[in-house]
Structure 1
């Protein structure tokens, strides 16, 4: 996009790279897009409720795997966003365009490989990873995974394409595509479940179709040569090892970080499953609602990567610090709004599921505690790392997240559950401890300035200056 220069008096030697209007053009469509993306999982969960509690549990278990894969593709897209953004900050549009092409092709290839892997190890995932589940939950999960697994390459392509458009400053197009994707998914659910009485398959098929449509749509738009960043119209592609290494230098640490995060969630889910189907269902619905609470912060964090990478590419760390503080403030406000809205709507949402008294109590505890703790500490532990990655400092947040995941989220959860016998809610207490420690370590990293010594892009095989 063409950046508008803010000529107001500011403590910078150069005009601001982004005006408030520019930031809102990035953040608001991103928030809406991420809400729409989350509503797909929520709508599937609600539709599953019409089948039964076992179907809700099955969908939640498989969606945990899909969330892991989506996070890996988001990590790869983040790597591409940082590299492309830094090239644009250096005003090197040809390199930015080449990096965009490499990102899309590599993401598609990675998605295809992961899909094959999922089908090969489907039995392991269901038998070992999900732990103690009933036969009914197992059968539902098997059917759902069998169908939804085919959408993996298309998820990868959509994430890569959406990241490129956001880097160009066009967050509206991915938002519009996600809106169409939601409408198609919900309409398909109603048709296949209530019209054709297809059960769990009627939930999975529309999701598969909508994800294929989203990927195809965004790729078609990416082939427009009038855009600064566009795909070359060719079926033959030569992978550029240097570009891919640059993308992977950011994407791999972030992908490992996300992978460990969701692996930890799966281990915790196995712990939750020992409390029975009611606990699994409560944890599923609670996780869905809490993800909506945190969603504005996550969306703005994606936009933060675009802003900070452009500042880093331009070599202006004064502006990078300015935007970090400004955007963190925006995130705090957004989290307060999302929490208030979610708590106001919570009774209506919960009434849809017709849960038992036990499941209702657990879900209520999860949603209320998450809202309170998130408002206080979430941005420091979950949004601030976006600044480091945008500057090329991707390993530090990975290492911190891995350590706190195993020491706080997993070990502490098992200690609270088995040693102190605190019940299923203890797993969420462990999550909040994880946020607190991560937040402190990330604040320390930001203040010591070590993150400003990294540069992600390379030119002619050497570090860019």
Structure 2
């Protein structure tokens, strides 16, 4: 057994050196960054998968309501993550340049900025939750709308907690400390799942139980993350007194990356929300099929999502050292590895579909539709997803945030929204048409970002 493992290591080492080692980072450091992110993403997606399955026990109306509001949640939480990503990029570049003093200051300011954003947004959404739901989901059935109202208000209460958690995690990823990110994520997500089992499966509290578990889990996650960076972390040196002081010069750099990305997330996920309004018109069954199909798509994306997050740290540190050769090499390697992971995931998940679908207890008439949608992404993702999502993460890590944001917005609104409406509603292909438009949008995005990557403008921004 030991001999077999030794032989595998000896064969793998040349490949690892060839594709994942350079002057900036070697493959051991790369693996140390990627593996905790992979485990983190696996837990996030699997727990989301289980949570969707658990809420399915409360009926199609509950699944539809949670799916609808989760689109809005993703829309808003991604704004916090976008600002946190601005911190991650600047922290990574300062780490690459060896300026640890600025690493600490940048991380602290990023956490402050994200906290302020989250409190503002959560307050506004709570105040205007009724008109917001009426605009987005006014055509939904009454029981779906009632559940959506409860879930939205509860989610808004939890925004500041998840925002602080994401800001801390983003700063830690910037310096390559992904192990504590993994541990903190496990604390929050395992707590969330245990509470879901308690409130939804055992006490049958439905959407109210889901809300309670989300708020409590995010409070615990935020508390754990703050305790860690105040008491135990020796890289960021977070001090509450320093966080209360606004440093405009640092915030400008963070916002140079964060604000275009935040605007992109607002309009990109706004497009997804608008797409949801098409699906509402198609009825509760279509909404349920869409929600469950998204859960399957996320299963495929576990590994590639981890690589997309890792690319920000890796490319950011390469650019901090002014090593564009390594930045190009590692971006290509991560994209290639992502495609391999998609194929492996498809080989595992597709044959298990008959077993996995039973977890959701969907109405029999939509089981075939969900399988068709799952098969579409299983085939398309290895070729299209990585260029569409890992590539812009790498470009953004080099400071090319304006281009990536504009390109993403145009492709989203012209293809996923407009084409989705034409295929799904006008041409009456229904939910399959909306789903196909998403895949077409991946292809166009990938072509745009590949063209940018071949040039030199994407790494010409000097941030640190």
Same fold? TM cut 0.5: yes
> In structure 1, what is the equivalent of residue 60 of structure 2?
53
8 Å contact from structure 1 (residues 108, 156) kept in 2: yes
Q: Cα gap change, 1:34/1:236 in structure 2, threshold over 3 Å: closer, same or farther?
A: closer
Q: Which has more helix, going by share of residues?
A: 2
CA distance in 2, matches of 1:218, 1:198: 29
Match among 429, 432, 450 for residue 425 of structure 1: 432
> In structure 2, what is the equivalent of residue 462 of structure 1?
none
Secondary structure of the corresponding residue to residue 241 of structure 2: coil
> In structure 2, what is the equivalent of residue 316 of structure 1?
323
Q: Deviations over 1:229-268 (max 9, x none)?
A: 1211438611111111111111111112222221111111
CA distance in 2, matches of 1:7, 1:185: 41
CA distance in 2, matches of 1:15, 1:262: 36
> In structure 1, what is the equivalent of residue 380 of structure 2?
373
Q: Cα gap change, 1:435/1:15 in structure 2, threshold over 3 Å: closer, same or farther?
A: closer
> In structure 2, what is the equivalent of residue 205 of structure 1?
212
Secondary structure of the corresponding residue to residue 425 of structure 1: helix
Secondary structure of the corresponding residue to residue 274 of structure 1: helix
TM-score (norm 1): 0.92
> In structure 1, what is the equivalent of residue 8 of structure 2?
none
Q: Deviations over 1:336-384 (max 9, x none)?
A: 2223233233222211222223321221111110111011111111110
Where structure 2 has 5 or more consecutive residues not aligned to the other structure, the ranges are: 1-12
> In structure 2, what is the equivalent of residue 62 of structure 1?
69
CA distance in 1, matches of 2:143, 2:200: 18
CA distance in 1, matches of 2:263, 2:362: 36
8 Å contact from structure 2 (residues 95, 175) kept in 1: no
Secondary structure of the corresponding residue to residue 132 of structure 1: coil
8 Å contact from structure 1 (residues 165, 171) kept in 2: yes
8 Å contact from structure 1 (residues 223, 231) kept in 2: yes
Q: CA deviation at 1:44?
A: 2.8
Match among 174, 190, 197 for residue 190 of structure 1: 197
> In structure 2, what is the equivalent of residue 176 of structure 1?
183
Secondary structure of the corresponding residue to residue 177 of structure 2: coil
> In structure 2, what is the equivalent of residue 304 of structure 1?
311
Q: Cα gap change, 1:328/1:194 in structure 2, threshold over 3 Å: closer, same or farther?
A: closer
Q: Cα gap change, 1:438/1:305 in structure 2, threshold over 3 Å: closer, same or farther?
A: same
CA distance in 2, matches of 1:352, 1:88: 44
> In structure 2, what is the equivalent of residue 389 of structure 1?
396
- How large is the RMSD of aligned CA atoms in angstroms? 2.2
Q: Cα gap change, 1:83/1:236 in structure 2, threshold over 3 Å: closer, same or farther?
A: closer
Q: Deviations over 1:25-70 (max 9, x none)?
A: 1111112212222334333322211111111111111111111223
Select between 302-311 and 324-333 the one with higher mean Cα deviation. Answer: 324-333
Where structure 1 has 5 or more consecutive residues not aligned to the other structure, the ranges are: 1-5, 458-465
CA distance in 2, matches of 1:340, 1:152: 36
8 Å contact from structure 1 (residues 381, 442) kept in 2: yes
CA distance in 2, matches of 1:150, 1:164: 24
Q: CA deviation at 1:225?
A: 6.5
Q: Cα gap change, 1:322/1:64 in structure 2, threshold over 3 Å: closer, same or farther?
A: same
CA distance in 2, matches of 1:283, 1:256: 25
Query: Number of residue pairs matched?
Result: 450
Query: Are residues 1:268 and 2:287 paired?
Result: no
